[in-house]
Structure 1
Amino acid sequence: MIPVLINGNGPYDFILDTGVGPMIITDPDILDPLDFNALKKIEISGLGTDTVEAYVSQSVSAQIGRAEISNIPTVVLKNDLFNLSRYLGQKIYGIIGFSFFNSFVVDIRYSQSRLIIYGDEAKIKFRGERVPLEIYNQRPYVLAEVAVSDSVKVTAKFLIDTGASHALSMETWDNGSFPMPEKRISANLGMSLSGRIKGNVGRITSLNFGGYVFKDIVAGFPNYKTIIAKIAGSKRNGNLGAELLRRFDLQFDYANSGVYLKLNSYAKKPFNYDRVGAVLYLDQEKFKRYLIAEVDDDSPADRAGLLSGDEVLSINFIGIVNYSLDQLTEMFKSGRQKLIVFEIARDGKVIFRFVSPENRI
């Protein structure tokens, strides 16, 4: 997340996302009162199942630090359909992508939680391995070698998607679904512009990206029939998300069709996956109430009796307001907890549920 001035006002927290073309504003209240009837109406789609009504503006400017861009093509959602704020735990006003990356050299240093922006006149010291980028339809693509198993190894085309929380999404291969590992589970793979993405999760043997090899990576496999119409034009096979990308410090150089990769201190961390099976979100009005959005079938959370809609009051006898969503996500993935005690409110009653996390893949 980065602070952005919109038309000189703000700052507002935006997601920095290579996976989007035009800037997307999810809360139209940050703009001067809009006459939606005067804007061009469009329908857009993500990897979910439905299309979303939105409007296009060409009169928005954005400033990040001292870097400013004017007249950015902007999609304005009349209603916030992403619900990013509830899943990230703080108010999010939009997503900024291609216009920003195409105007500057962008240096993302995950290891320092730092963003450096270079203008045309800046002297830039590029670091690490250069990987060629193909910029297609305002999005960056790379080639990487992936081994789904010891016997299935292919070179595939991936979207670089800094806005996706997963490590790897394997979408299509040879006009069909990507071969999946034998051990896998049905899962929600996250949110897209038009809803939740359903599919499977498993581990692949290895991924070679820019000469760097990662093993035993958690990969999502979206339902092919749901997504094929959304990705057909790009001819991509999948995408690389932040759980993989954060293991590098990255320098994006769209003007010269390249990205530079330098391993950082996160490089050797294992790829963990949720061991509980419950998705939590924050109430958007006050950001103080934690609720359960979904529970995976036959997961530890399901077997313990947690239900969608339960309000979580405490975890391990510590009040829920003392946790951030990031801390809870790490707890559910880490494997350090043998038992997690949920205190929940349901139908006016307070009850306890005991969840035994397990390695699900």
Structure 2
Amino acid sequence: MLLGFLAIVRICHWLLVIWLLLLWPPAEVQGQQFEFRGKRKQQTMNFQLIKNLIVIPVYINDKGPFNFILDTGVSPLLITDPSILDTLDFSQLRPMKISGLGQGEMIEAYSSNTIDVSVGASRMDNVPTAILKSDIFNLSNFLGIHVHGLIGYYFLNSFVVHVDYFSHTMKFYRHELKRKIKGFAVPMEMILNKPYLHLSVMAPNVGLFNARLLMDSGASFALSLESLAGQKFPLPDSNITANLGMGFGGLISGHIGRVHNLSIGRVTLSDVLTNYPDYADGAAKVMSTGRNGSIGAELLRRFHITYDYRNSVVYLKPNSALKNAFDHDMSGMEVYMEEGKSNRFFIERIEENSPAEKQGIRPGTELLEINFKSVTSLDLQTIVQLLKAGDGKNVVLKLFQNDEIVYKVLTLKKRI
């Protein structure tokens, strides 16, 4: 995984949720849900899977389709690209400010309960919505497609939702339909409209403990551990310093390490790659729910998943990815595709003491070829995989750097 991307979609939702719960009293949204029109009771639709994230087509006020990330870590609808709402009178919206993970200031946003949303054949009117004043996350660059926002609780609470990461399909159906669900059941604890799991984790310098973890399909990492007993979570002895991405407040710094194992239901996963955000930039800034951290899509994608928010349970069926190792980027550079420049890839942050830094690669460099193959024939996901192809493997890069074409040979290195 590329470090800067690990948390761009780990946008901190905490204070956003708190603001919106104040703006929309529970009675005002009680009973609201997505519903099929007519006699339809279920639907199957395709989604795009990019860097572990589920991107679905969504219609806003009968316009679209727009690309939204299906995110169990967000409660209200979050619109990151306000340009899709060109028919709204922003002077009539309620301004608010949002804080969260990161080193920067609070950002400006609007709240609305006049947004109508359709997903497939289902629709909900007057969806509680937060609208960022500007697109601060640049999700489009890092996913390689234009991303307009995130959708979570109100859709997931309306149906039983089955996600198949392998076939890239999502099936959702009314709760009154009785379907046999494959997999083992894991109880969820719903807090502020978000699902939490209580899982057993064996962590270095901590030992075995019961962790309260947010289930977060909108985060591309596997596991993040933030706090323990109200204090910074102890780091493992083996770790690397890393930029973990962007939150509402700016850059999130921290470390990456591993835990010995994590048990979820009847399955135990070993040597799990883990983010450790700096406490001052993360857990210390947000209202405590007693959580220790979160599990993200790098872990979730190893299962076929069925969400049943109404009954506070999730069903997990292991798929063929279960035994895959938790690999980390081995190049030390972050690659993105600049929006509006189709199939042009650029390098952003460079990790200290990484193969990329040792070869003199600099931010802003354009990537032209990998292993003598033009990147115009590759997508972002393929490039990510090539840059974690294996410890000790050589990757030949053709670059445009400092107004000239240069070749670099990276020897990939497993750094954690």
Is this contact kept in 1: 2:101–2:249, CA < 8 A? yes
Identify the residue that residue 404 of structure 2 maps to in structure 1.
Answer: 349
Instruction: Please give the alpha-carbon distance, in whole angstroms, between the structure 2 residues aligned to 1:105 and 1:270.
Output: 30
Identify the residue that residue 283 of structure 2 maps to in structure 1.
Answer: 228
Identify the residue that residue 12 of structure 1 maps to in structure 2.
Answer: 66
Q: Which moved more, 1:136-145 or 1:283-292?
A: 283-292
- Write out per-residue CA displacement over residues 41-63 of structure 1, whole angstroms, 9 at most, x where no aligned residue: 11113322232211111111221
Instruction: Please give the alpha-carbon distance, in whole angstroms, between the structure 2 residues aligned to 1:140 and 1:161.
Output: 8
Identify the residue that residue 281 of structure 1 maps to in structure 2.
Answer: 336
Instruction: Please give the alpha-carbon distance, in whole angstroms, between the structure 1 residues aligned to 2:131 and 2:342.
Output: 24
Is this contact kept in 2: 1:44–1:54, CA < 8 A? yes
Shift of 1:151: 6.5
Shift of 1:8: 1.4
Write out aligned runs for 1:203-242 (5 A).
203-242=258-297
CA RMSD of aligned residues (A): 1.6
Shift of 1:203: 1.5
The 3 A distance-change label for structure 1 pair 88 and 36 is same
Q: Secondary structure at the match of 1:281?
A: strand
Q: In the alignment, is residue 308 of structure 1 matched against residue 363 of structure 2?
A: yes
Q: Which moved more, 1:213-222 or 1:280-289?
A: 280-289
Identify the residue that residue 97 of structure 2 maps to in structure 1.
Answer: 43
Q: Secondary structure at the match of 1:153?
A: strand
The 3 A distance-change label for structure 1 pair 268 and 87 is same
Identify the residue that residue 354 of structure 2 maps to in structure 1.
Answer: 299
Instruction: Please give the alpha-carbon distance, in whole angstroms, between the structure 1 residues aligned to 2:288 and 2:231.
Output: 15
Given the two structures, how large is their TM-score scaled by the length of structure 1?
0.96
Instruction: Please give the alpha-carbon distance, in whole angstroms, between the structure 1 residues aligned to 2:134 and 2:269.
Output: 39
Identify the residue that residue 102 of structure 1 maps to in structure 2.
Answer: 157
Is this contact kept in 2: 1:187–1:198, CA < 8 A? yes
Q: Secondary structure at the match of 2:364?
A: coil
Identify the residue that residue 359 of structure 1 maps to in structure 2.
Answer: 414
Is this contact kept in 2: 1:81–1:194, CA < 8 A? no
The 3 A distance-change label for structure 1 pair 161 and 129 is same
Is this contact kept in 1: 2:160–2:174, CA < 8 A? yes
Amino acid in structure 1 at the alignment position of 2:356 = A
Shift of 1:160: 0.3
Q: Which moved more, 1:337-346 or 1:98-107?
A: 337-346
Is this contact kept in 1: 2:244–2:254, CA < 8 A? yes
Q: Secondary structure at the match of 1:276?
A: coil
Identify the residue that residue 119 of structure 1 maps to in structure 2.
Answer: 174
Identify the residue that residue 2 of structure 1 maps to in structure 2.
Answer: 56
- Write out per-residue CA displacement over residues 219-259 of structure 1, whole angstroms, 9 at most, x where no aligned residue: 01001111123443222100000000011111111111111
Identify the residue that residue 34 of structure 1 maps to in structure 2.
Answer: 88
Amino acid in structure 2 at the alignment position of 1:115 = M
Instruction: Please give the alpha-carbon distance, in whole angstroms, between the structure 2 residues aligned to 1:192 and 1:225.
Output: 13
Identify the residue that residue 325 of structure 2 maps to in structure 1.
Answer: 270
Is this contact kept in 2: 1:199–1:222, CA < 8 A? yes
Amino acid in structure 2 at the alignment position of 1:9 = K
Instruction: Please give the alpha-carbon distance, in whole angstroms, between the structure 2 residues aligned to 1:27 and 1:194.
Output: 17
- Write out per-residue CA displacement over residues 154-188 of structure 1, whole angstroms, 9 at most, x where no aligned residue: 11100000010000001111221212221110112
Identical pairs, percent: 40
Q: Secondary structure at the match of 1:111?
A: coil
Write out aligned runs for 1:148-297 (5 A).
148-149=203-204, 152-297=207-352
Amino acid in structure 1 at the alignment position of 2:89 = D
Is this contact kept in 2: 1:331–1:337, CA < 8 A? no
Amino acid in structure 1 at the alignment position of 2:283 = I
- What runs of 5+ residues in structure 1 fail to find an aligned partner? none
- Write out per-residue CA displacement over residues 261-298 of structure 1, whole angstroms, 9 at most, x where no aligned residue: 11112111111111110001111122332111100011
Instruction: Please give the alpha-carbon distance, in whole angstroms, between the structure 1 residues aligned to 2:221 and 2:411.
Output: 24
Q: Secondary structure at the match of 1:239?
A: strand
Q: Which moved more, 1:316-325 or 1:233-242?
A: 316-325
Is this contact kept in 1: 2:205–2:236, CA < 8 A? no
Instruction: Please give the alpha-carbon distance, in whole angstroms, between the structure 1 residues aligned to 2:75 and 2:389.
Output: 34
- What runs of 5+ residues in structure 2 fail to find an aligned partner? 1-54
The structure showing larger relative contact order (alpha-carbon pairs under 8 Å, at least 6 residues apart) is 2
Is this contact kept in 1: 2:397–2:407, CA < 8 A? yes
- Write out per-residue CA displacement over residues 314-335 of structure 1, whole angstroms, 9 at most, x where no aligned residue: 2222212121110011111231
Instruction: Please give the alpha-carbon distance, in whole angstroms, between the structure 1 residues aligned to 2:121 and 2:90.
Output: 31
